[in-house]
Amino acid sequence: MFRFFENLVDPFAPHTPVNDPPRRLWPFLKGYMGPFRGVFLATGLFAAAVAAVELWLISCSGRLIDTLTASSPEAVWRDHGTELLLVAAFVLLVRPLVFGVQALLLNNAILPNFGTLIRWRAHGHVLRQSVGWFENDFAGRIANRVMQAPPAAGDAVYNAFDAIAYAISYIAGAAVLLWTADPRLLIPLALWVIPYAALVVWVVRRIGPASEASSNARSQVNGRVVDAYTNIHSVKMFAQGDRELHEAQAAIAETRRTFQREMRLFTIMDLVLTLLNGLLIVGVVGWAIGLWTGGLASVGIVAAASALVLRLSNMSGWIMLSVSDFFRSLGTVAEGMQTIAQPIELLDAPDARPLRVTEGRIEIRDLSHHYGKGGGGLDCLTLTVEPGQKVGLVGRSGAGKSTLVKLLLRFYDAESGSIRIDGQDIRAVTQDSLRSAIGMVQQDSSLLHRTVRENILYGRPDATEAQMIGAAHQAEAHDFILRLQDGEGNRGYDAKVGERGVKLSGGQRQRIALARVILKDAPLLILDEATSALDSEVEAAIQGTLATMMEGKTVIAIAHRLSTIARMDRIVVLDDGRIAEDGAHEALLAQGGLYARFWNRQSGGFLDLDAEPEPALTEIAR
């Protein structure tokens, strides 16, 4: 039975991703509600049925009192025994069935699946965002919004059916019940409903923005705390724990202030509601007693009216809280929409095809990108890398090396110019196929908080165990991997490496990253300070591996240790986003230009960043 209701909607069913989600709340939620239409309709009908059953029982209680006061015990059983037995059977059999189906629809069909569907699709949407989009926000805040908006949407739907639909049905049914008893009993109910509705509107108008502000403050706290935890090495190294705590205190204090403003609304609501409920009870019960005194109503009507308004009075606070929670949840969803409803700006072309690498020629024409600023980045850069050619990139910090790599991977779209691989504009091919064709080892190779095996297989998930171990051997990583053990007792390739690989040394992380790229075996290769984290002995051991990796591939290598790129076919020197020099190592030394000065300034094989720069030169960095 549970499985039937839990599987009424598949939250992971295939769907067409939306590149530009609605930025208004209701259209946004409507996009997720499609698979639940039938379930929502059934839940609404059963909510009304539950309210009708409750009202019918109150009516039956009034009729029972009239029957008991007007007849002897023998006459009651003789004239009404069958009716009493049928009511008892209804209470024991039908009522639990109606309530049970309502509970199953809410608790098992909607709550687990609606939030799951939103979280699944929202996570998929966020993963499709560009690298630049992620660089402009806290990872913690993004994650917090993706995690808290879906359950808030589920809570909103739950309150809509569990309280709001039920309350509307109950109040409408109560009006009918009082009307049938005596139409004049509707007067105090109407006098209560009008200010009650006004109070609901007053609270709703304020609770949504207050909840959104409170949710945004919580996201800010989460983003700051996660940022500190993620960079805990820097926090400890610079002894800035007190400063981080102080910064967090300001964000936490703002969360407290927003929550205080939110809670003031609930206190005002409680006080006004208590007054209104008192007026309702006195009005309806007093009027019913007056009618009974004048012989216009029976004792049963007085009892039913009293039970009805007492029940309605007790429910009114719950209804108000549920309505408040409903809009409070919507406020949380609205805050989350600031992340999960942002459009995807870096898209595949409508007719994009997979990249086909036949030779490995890279052609860059008039490429410019300044990140929307007036300077920095690249400026009209033109460069051709022939198939199988190994090109080294050298330049000062900000010269454009990293920008060129990001544009080649299409982490950004260039502001002007083009990049072609074997004649195919990278904007006309799918992003996944482009990046699948490029292997990259970065200076700071962060690893996933998973096992060593999973990290290496990330390069090629369908590789065999033997191929994976072979790649680790080539990267000079196999021996140290076998000695690894994590805190859970996992060993070797099953050991977890910690978040971003923090449980490993820099050299160990780099060698696992190298193994991952070796396993990927892409035709284009980018080495961004690939050996910077390795000691001289290990670097010497894997130089042969790097040479093997580069065989038959088109390679672009960025290095500060110029000796590592001296044997490249070409060395391109970038300066202020343009190509300043281009040629082989010996030729560039003979020119006596920038590269020659960089080379002469080296100390121990690295660029000497502490040396006094010559005119127009700044320190050399990546």
| Tens-digit pLDDT profile for residues 100-156 | 999 999 999 998 999 999 999 999 999 999 888 888 887 778 888 888 888 889 888
For the domain made up of 16-340, give the CATH fold: ABC transporter transmembrane region fold (1.20.1560)
Range in 79-83, 208-212, 486-490, 498-502 with the lowest mean pLDDT? 498-502
Tell me what the mean pLDDT of segment 450-478 comes to: 92
Rounded CA-CA distance 159/179 in Å is: 28
Burial 450-478 (b: 16+ CB within 10 A, else e): ebbbbbbbbbbeebeeebbbbbbebbbbb
Q: What is the maximum alpha-carbon separation in the chain?
A: 123
When pLDDT is cut at 50, 70 and 90, the band that residue 611 belongs to is: very low
Residue 183: pLDDT band with limits 50, 70, 90: confident
Average pLDDT (426-435) is 95
Question: Is 532 or 101 the better-scoring residue by pLDDT?
Answer: 101
pLDDT number for residue 500: 66
- Does residue 44 surpass a pLDDT of 50? yes
In this predicted structure, what is the pLDDT of residue 501?
A: 67
What does each C-alpha distance from 205 to 28, 265, 323, 354, 466 come to in angstroms? Answer: 20, 11, 11, 51, 63
What pLDDT, on the 0 to 100 scale, is given for residue 180?
77
Stretch among 224-228, 341-345, 605-609 having the lowest mean pLDDT: 605-609
Q: What is the DSSP letter of 344?
A: -
**Whole-number percent of the chain with pLDDT over 90:** 32
pLDDT of residue 618: 32
pLDDT at 443 over 50: yes
**Phi, psi for residue 92 in degrees, rounded to 5:** -85, -30
β-bridge partners, 381: 367
Q: How confident is the model at residue 384 (pLDDT cuts 50, 70, 90)?
A: very high
Distance in angstroms (rounded) separating the CA atoms of residues 155 and 143: 19
- Number of Cβ within 10 Å of residue 13's Cβ equals 9
- Can 348-437+522-622 and 448-520 be said to share one CATH topology? yes
The answer to whether the beta carbons of residues 564 and 592 sit under 8 Å apart is no
Pick the most confident of 168-172, 271-275, 313-317, 536-540. 271-275
Interior/surface letters 217-235, b for 16+ CB within 10 angstroms, e for the rest: bbbbbbbbbbbbebeeeeb
E strand or H helix that includes residue 83: helix 73-89
Q: What is the pLDDT of residues 282-309, one digit of tens each?
A: 877 887 888 788 777 778 777 877 787 7
pLDDT of residue 367: 94
pLDDT for the residue numbered 620: 32
* Side-chain-facing half-sphere of 355: CA atoms under 13 Å: 31
CA neighbours within 13 Å on the CB side: how many for 197? 9
Residue, of 585 and 533, whose pLDDT is higher: 585
Domain ranges of the chain: 16-340, 348-437+522-622, 448-520
pLDDT at 374: 66
605 — pLDDT class (breaks 50, 70, 90): very low
Check whether 219 has a pLDDT greater than 70: yes
Question: Among residues 394, 476, 468, 405, which one has the least CA distance to residue 438?
Answer: 405
Helix (H, G, I), strand (E, B) or coil at 193: helix
pLDDT digits (tens, 9 = 90+) for 308-354: 778 777 777 777 777 777 877 887 888 888 888 899 989 999 999 99
pLDDT band at 381, cuts 50/70/90? very high
Q: In this predicted structure, what is the pLDDT of residue 542?
A: 66
β-pairing, 554-558 vs 524-528, is parallel
477 in helix, strand or coil?
Answer: coil
Name the token pair of 304: 């039913």
| Per-residue pLDDT at 58 | 79
Instruction: Give the torsion sign (CA, 85, 89, 91, 95).
Output: negative
Give, as one character, the DSSP assignment of residue 365: E
- The confidence band for 207, taking pLDDT boundaries of 50, 70 and 90, is confident
pLDDT, averaged across the chain: 84
Going by pLDDT thresholds of 50, 70 and 90, the confidence category of residue 609 is very low
Collapsing DSSP to helix, strand or coil, 503 comes out as coil
Cβ(596)–Cβ(614) under 8 Å? no
Q: 476: which residues sit within 8 A by CB, 6+ positions away?
A: 511, 538, 541, 542, 545
Task: Judge whether residue 531 has pLDDT over 50.
Answer: yes
Could you list the beta-strand ranges (E) of 102-256: none
CA nearest 282: which of 258, 310, 319? 310
Contact 362, 404 (CB under 8 A): no
Fold of 448-520: Rossmann fold (3.40.50)
> How many beta carbons lie within 10 A of that of residue 153, not counting itself?
26
pLDDT in tens, 20-29: 999 888 889 8
- The mean pLDDT value for 57-69 works out to 79
Please determine, for residue 539, whether its predicted confidence score (pLDDT) is greater than 90. Answer: no
Classify domain 348-437+522-622 by CATH number. 3.40.50.300
Average pLDDT on 246-268 reads: 84
What is the phi/psi pair of residue 182, to 5°?
-170, 120
Pairing relation of β-strands 378-385 and 362-369?
antiparallel
Helices of type H across 231-239: 232-237
3-state secondary structure of 352: coil
What pLDDT, on a 0 to 100 scale, did the predictor assign at position 472?
93
Query: Which range has highest mean pLDDT (59-68, 264-273, 543-552, 567-576)?
Result: 567-576
Residue with tokens 């019918």: 56
Indicate if the pLDDT at residue 551 is higher than 90: no
pLDDT of residue 612 exceeding 50: no
What pLDDT is stored for residue 226 in this prediction?
Answer: 78
